[in-house]
A and B are shown apart, each in its own frame.
Chain A
């Protein structure tokens, strides 16, 4: 089992041990004082941590994060609880309303209504050399998005990618889709670890990679 990032702890909620971070609750998750449970069934990054993947996420005010596919802020709120400046990119307006609420109590969470497939539309805002690039976008061409956003990541940074097989092609075997994604990613990333997240998310693959 790998070390958890600083600021993420295993704590007991109603008798069950669960991952938790400190911050204002966002999606009705159980709380214990200032701690709130991180639900791996609703968060791919939460699932990657719960499965013991070596994410390289360290936590701390100096750690910068670019999060692509922030949706309503479920996962990115936990990330902002433990990391420093966190840029949250989401393309759909409706979930961003909830993301704005999550950002209200998190002064270093920056919400951006932008398309992750067009990094030039937020490269004037997001700083270079971020420590962690988290990607959870439900669109075709997920590997391409990771390659396009390589420009933001520090050379010793980490890509934490959740690949949704059904977004690429519903008719193909997930294993075949994942193989293609791995191959395309290898153009610019060295894959350190990859694992099926099926315990928590059907037909998803979690990938940890570093830029070449």
Chain B
């Protein structure tokens, strides 16, 4: 709706009944502080000859607007997310590797040489700090790679909540995207049992265990979640199991229904609090399990 339309204008105000595109846009983007007797107003304004024609036009416009909005939402593709999060990790890893190489080389010519990506960024930002075109150029490339990783992280943080709203809310957008990436897509993740979700990213440890010369891994990539990291090591197995269970449910809801289920977050929070209380109280119930 345009800024100059009156505050009490209906979705059809000032529009041609034949202009489907403009009508759909008005349904999608318009607003009004209060409802009114729109069918009567539309007939008065000559938008429709009677209520029946008004409702026919309303049906066409709401259906078109809603269909377009749904299609736009569904183009938010989990494949895009998988590529983005993998590229983000590649950029970060490569920037770190090159930064090590740079530190080694620059150490021979810069008396104040530091280490890591931060040092590369310093070199790149400071004209004339080292008088060596190749070292300087390398530092600029590392700087740019680190920028790219940062931009990719922002993209992942923006897109994950659209692709997997519940998973993003529970795990945070970046961990959610990593889980989708490790599983090979949201559908694959939705089909995995929670025990598999629990050890995604710990495949080496899992196969060592399956070959019989290691204990089973307690957690994979979900280790980075506060629910696990913030829990006493003795109880991290329980925390990982509880978290993985909720994540598996969230992935299924996101894939099969797409509706938000805010209660998942509350349930997880409650469960983790219960688990953390065990060690906070200095109690040990001794059975190592949690009855699930």
A residues sitting closer than 8 Å to B (CB atoms) are 71-72, 85, 91-97, 99-100, 103, 107-113, 120-121, 123-129, 138-140, 151-152, 166-167, 169-171
B42 → chain A closest CB, angstroms: 10
A69 → chain B closest CB, angstroms: 10
Q: Is B11 close to A, CB under 8 A?
A: yes
Q: Is B208 close to A, CB under 8 A?
A: no
Please report which residues of chain B, range 1-53, place their CB below 8 angstroms from some CB of chain A when the two chains form the complex: 1, 9-11, 26-28, 30-39
Q: Is B283 close to A, CB under 8 A?
A: no
A116 → chain B closest CB, angstroms: 12
Task: Find A110's partner among B1, B33, B62 (CB 8 Å cutoff).
Answer: B62
For the complex of A and B, 8 pairs with smallest distance between CB atoms: A94-B258, A93-B73, A124-B32, A128-B35, A123-B32, A110-B62, A124-B30, A170-B266
Q: List 21 A-B contacts (CB under 8 A).
A: A71-B259, A92-B257, A92-B258, A92-B259, A94-B259, A100-B70, A103-B63, A107-B59, A110-B62, A111-B63, A111-B66, A113-B65, A120-B33, A123-B31, A123-B32, A124-B32, A126-B35, A128-B36, A138-B261, A151-B34, A167-B262
List the B side residues contacting A121 at CB < 8 Å. 31
B56 x A107 contact (CB < 8 A): yes
B residues sitting closer than 8 Å to A (CB atoms) are 1, 9-11, 26-28, 30-39, 55-56, 58-59, 62-63, 65-67, 69-70, 73-74, 165, 257-263, 266-267, 270
Cα–Cα distance between A94 and B74 once the two chains are bound (Å): 7
B62 x A166 contact (CB < 8 A): no
A198 → chain B closest CB, angstroms: 17
List the B side residues contacting A140 at CB < 8 Å. 262
A94 to chain B: closest residue by CB: B258
Task: Find B39's partner among A112, A127, A139 (CB 8 Å cutoff).
Answer: A127
List the A side residues contacting B261 at CB < 8 Å. 138
List the A side residues contacting B26 at CB < 8 Å. 124
List the A side residues contacting B74 at CB < 8 Å. 93-94, 97
Cα–Cα distance between A91 and B31 once the two chains are bound (Å): 16
Cα–Cα distance between A152 and B33 once the two chains are bound (Å): 11
List the B side residues contacting A123 at CB < 8 Å. 31-35
Task: Find A85's partner among B55, B66, B258 (CB 8 Å cutoff).
Answer: B55
Take A95-B259, A124-B1, A170-B270 as given contacts and tell me if A129 and B37 are in contact as well, using a CB distance cutoff of 8 Å. Answer: yes
B63 x A151 contact (CB < 8 A): no
Cα–Cα distance between A110 and B258 once the two chains are bound (Å): 21
B31 x A120 contact (CB < 8 A): yes
List the B side residues contacting A138 at CB < 8 Å. 259-263
Cα–Cα distance between A139 and B11 once the two chains are bound (Å): 27
B39 → chain A closest CB, angstroms: 6
List the B side residues contacting A166 at CB < 8 Å. 263
B8 to chain A: closest residue by CB: A124
B257 x A94 contact (CB < 8 A): yes
Task: Find B263's partner among A108, A113, A152, A170 (CB 8 Å cutoff).
Answer: A170
Cα–Cα distance between A123 and B67 once the two chains are bound (Å): 20
Interface centre among A94, A96, A139 (most CB of B within 10 A): A94
B28 to chain A: closest residue by CB: A113
A165 to chain B: closest residue by CB: B263
Extra A-B contacts (9), CB below 8 Å, given A121-B31, A123-B33, A124-B11: A93-B74, A113-B65, A113-B66, A125-B62, A127-B39, A128-B35, A129-B37, A151-B34, A170-B266
A95 → chain B closest CB, angstroms: 6
Cα–Cα distance between A109 and B58 once the two chains are bound (Å): 10
Take A94-B74, A100-B70, A113-B69 as given contacts and tell me if A128 and B62 are in contact as well, using a CB distance cutoff of 8 Å. Answer: no
List the A side residues contacting B257 at CB < 8 Å. 72, 92, 94-95
B260 x A92 contact (CB < 8 A): yes
